[in-house]
Amino acid sequence: MSKQILEKESVVVKFVGDSGDGMQLTGTLFSDTAALAGNDIATFPDYPAEIRAPHNTIAGVSGFQVHIGKETRIIGDKCDVLVAMNPASLKAHLKWVDKGATIITDEDAYDEKALEKAGYAANPLTDGSLSSYCVIAPKITTLAKETALAQGLDNKSAERTKNMFCLGMVYYIFNFNLETPFKLVEKRFAGKVKIADANKQVLQAGYNFAETMEAFNSTFQISNVKLEKGKYRNITGNEATAWGLLAAAEKVGKELFLGSYPITPATEILIELAKHKSLGAQVFQAEDEIAGICSAIGASFAGAMACTTTSGPGLSLKTEAIGLAVMTELPLVIVDVQRAGPSTGMPTKSEQSDLNIALFGRNGEAPCIVVAAASPSDCFYKAYYAAKLAMENMTPVILLTDGNTGQGSELFRIPKMADMPSINPPYATPNDPNFKPYRRDSETLVRQWAIPGMEGLRHRIGGLEKTDVDGLVSTDPLNHAKMVQNRSEKVMRLAKRLPKQNVYGNVDADTLVVSWGGTKGAVYTACKEINNSGKAVAQAHFSQIMPLPENTGEIFAKYKKILVCELNSGQFANYLRMTLPDFKYEQYNKVQGLPFTVQELREAIINVINNIK
């Protein structure tokens, strides 16, 4: 019987299983294949913090969600296809599956012990509880092992190929040919020809199995994205951050120095930069967070483009050194890939949890510029921008991303260096008879950067307060007040030179939804759907946090209701109340270690619209 091919603009596929089932690899292969086939993509890795979580338990479930299609600003609320490798993964993620969706699961995994550990009283494959879904449950482990054993793999290695059997079935459902996946598998297992060949054969077996199943009486063709001409790749936010820092160093003609300590979910920035020594990147894996940032401050003093990377607990440890960078007025980029806190919190779960510490988390008066990235590809531009701001304003800049943004991925159009904005640090002139370490530009209050080795520019900097202009150690009270004011005013005057804040959607609406950082896509989609439904709403998404764009108050004055949506308990809303107290702010907050869904945002926004008086 011939099978139908149905056109769809987008679909959400989620791969879930035990931590050792290869779900991150499976999801990455699928998303890379979709991107190379011309689909837009957005991904969401979701894995446990435990290194060896208990087998067949809900706590040990690892997942990878992929949204592919014509336009994918978001990871998607619910799945059209769920691949669940065992009962625990099915139980943990069934709530994220649309009714009528396809569930692919492994019958071999549903033994009595596994069902008990997952908390099932009866087998869901036979008790009728999954009647609302299209369930495909072949003996996946058995079929995968048979194929892999025939290729000469040992029993344990053969069993581990079951994820590839499932992936082959998914490729069939969405009409992807296997030429691209085969190349990706060969690249993934480079130098391990036997393992690569076995995985390719299992992929083919899964594809063939799905092709012959009567349950798949239709397959899907996903709409391709219309892209601007250029070179694209699938990139994670952490990779994009590393590339943005490299691009800034190249643009300004400096070597890049990264002093960091590994921490989830920021470690991949360190790993990526370590690959690029040929581009002048110098990477120092320090013994702790404090050593990491202090080495970066030293590199900045020596004239390098310096940065350090971390997550929430590490940012706490870096606070004294950030104050040192503020006091010495040296350029430094601090990348904080936020996760759920406090303390160790939930290391693999994402939140916008660190805005307060980025804004206020230092002793004394120590203002920093704070910016936030909106998406994985935007991490490139915000990292470049943070480096530009740091070097041009001689001050530390904190770049906030988050776990979902940093470890998620999307299509990225690789820009040309010629198109990137110039970076112009305020270098001092060798042998300048008028040089003083704290003489400032009259408009920007930025001091000059005198790098060791520049003749005739010997000077003193450090953590002790200095005299205005001359830079001598001083405890004079009036001088201290003057220097505190200078450092603060330097940051605040930047607002006059920043791009104006934009508003999206129906700008003439009565309600303005405010978002910042990695929530942009979900909030944008919710507002777009509301406007398409006949109601009116506008959105202002902030990437520049400290200082705020100069026209922020002007924008807020136009709206009757301002709803601030963020993945914390209201940190940005409280900052707005402090900074722009003339307006009333309503809040919609989520503190679950999970991203916003479009549905919950849409309901919250409509509730505000309907209550306008």
Instruction: Please give the average pLDDT of every successive group of 10 residues along the chain, which has 613 residues.
Output: 81 94 96 94 91 85 95 90 97 95 96 95 96 95 96 94 97 95 95 95 96 82 89 95 98 97 97 96 97 98 98 98 98 98 94 98 96 98 98 98 97 96 98 96 97 94 95 97 98 97 96 98 97 97 98 98 98 98 98 96 97 78
State how far the Cα of 168 lies from the Cα of 446, in Å rounded to an integer: 58
Q: Class assignment of domain 4-222?
A: alpha beta
Is the domain covering 504-610 a CATH 3.20.20.70 domain?
no
In sign, the C-alpha dihedral spanning 1, 217, 199, 406 is positive
* The pLDDT value given to residue 452: 94
- Cα separation, 422 vs 497, in Å, equals 15
Residue 155 has a pLDDT of: 94
Contact predicate 147/209, CB 8 Å: no
Domain 233-419 has CATH 3.40.50.970: yes
Same fold, 233-419 and 504-610: yes
pLDDT value of residue 198: 96
Structure confidence at residue 1 (pLDDT): 52
Q: What is the pLDDT of residue 226?
A: 87
pLDDT, residue 54, reads 83
Break the chain into its structural domains and give their ranges. 4-222, 233-419, 426-497, 504-610
Query: What confidence score (pLDDT) does residue 4 get?
Result: 82
- Token couple for 103: 């569930």
DSSP secondary structure of 8-58: ESEEEEEEEEEGGG-HHHHHHHHHHHHHHTT-EEEEEEE--S-TTPPTTSG
Tokens of 610: 């309907």
The SS3 of residue 228 is coil
Residue that has been written with the tokens 């435990």 in this structure: 50
